[in-house]
Amino acid sequence: MSDLSRRRVLATGVTAALTLGALATGTAAASAHSAHPSKPGHSTPAAHHAIPFTAATVTQQANGSFSISWTSAPGVGRVSVYAGRDQQHIAHGHALATGRGTATVTVPSPGTADRWWFELVPDHGQPLTIADRSLHLASAPNFRDAGGYRTTDGQWVRMGVLYRSGDLSALTDADLATLHRLGIRTDIDLRTATERGTAPDRLPSGTRYVVADVLGDALSGALPTTEDAAEQMMTEGERTMVSGDNAKKAYTTLVDAAADPRAAAVVYHCTAGKDRTGWASATLLTALGVPRATVVQDYLASNTYRAAENAAALAQLPEAMRPAYKALLDVRPEYLNAGFDEVARKYGSFDRYLDAALGFDSRDVRELRRRLLVG
């Protein structure tokens, strides 16, 4: 491979995937309205004030239609589906679709919008508003809503408040306009100084830019040449995100921004949007009470959103190099688990990690949940 080809591979994301910063040059969502009145014709008994959905997803198809699936708790017999261009303006005239307590429906695109939101109105209990998690930005394929997950106690993480992404340096003017209309006003950049200098963020007008460098520029090392060595590098990087001094300061900044009741929507990102950003989401979702299995699911979704980028990068490499590089480009359960293991080893519990490492005590966590949970 020529030097030029190698540089192109690195630029397309191979070294961007490294969590250690050694080469720093380099699926559906849901939310709810906690105070939403029941729709006419839908009774809401006093015993059923909670959001009675245990799962819900929206996926926009290639032809523009939407596949909407849900699973309800016992007692829900019928669900009606309504749509709107934002969460506050959902039309409740004619239902786009109806289904039983557990169902999948397909609806045509209601029209043109930055995002379509779909409200599931059960015959008992509070409604749930869901949207496709992805913003479908060609310039940032891993830009997606970080909310919309159900907690262990039946609440839901607000959607449209927290977003996660990879590199923002290639956002188009149209993308910037979309993000501005969606209310994104804070950008938390988790990258190193080298990364920020090489590929500075493009931001919507009026966006507050905050540097929260997780790794710093102190770490360096040679590229791994085997898959095992690459996996070890990734797991060690995950542990550094938990216990490293830079990491603790950076994630404190992030959680503070997420908890700020005065803040509008926040996007946080690194270069690939999968490792430093992945631990950021794992931290926030765990603090909010989202089950570990769901946190892992959110983490692994980067493999889907980055599939085309990763395939293009690997295609430029000699076949012998691909296993090691694939391990760097992937997210794998063992990587994230290394972070949780480090939390248990060093702090004993996640609550203790939030307190001792990030300065978030139980009162702060309650405030975070008050801002970000509904239902």
Which residues are CB-neighbours of 68 under 8 A, at least 6 positions away?
Answer: 56, 57, 58, 81, 97, 104, 105, 106, 107, 118, 120, 130
The closest of 67, 259, 256, 265 to 178, measured between CA atoms, is 265
- Number of helical (H) and strand (E) elements in the chain, helices listed first: 12, 16
How far apart CA 315 and CA 9 sit, in angstroms, is 9
Residues labelled catalytic: 270
Are the C-beta atoms of 304 and 311 separated by less than 8 Å? Answer: no
Of 201, 261, 242, 229, whose CA–CA distance to 353 is shortest? 242
Bridge partners for 186 per DSSP: 208, 266
Q: How far are the Cα atoms of 16, 126, 375 from residue 79, in angstroms, in the given order?
A: 44, 11, 17
Reading the block at residue 275, the tokens are 């490792």
Q: Which two structure tokens, joined as six digits, stand for 294? A: 């769901």
How is residue 351 annotated by DSSP?
A: H
| Euclidean distance between CA atoms 301 and 305, whole angstroms | 6
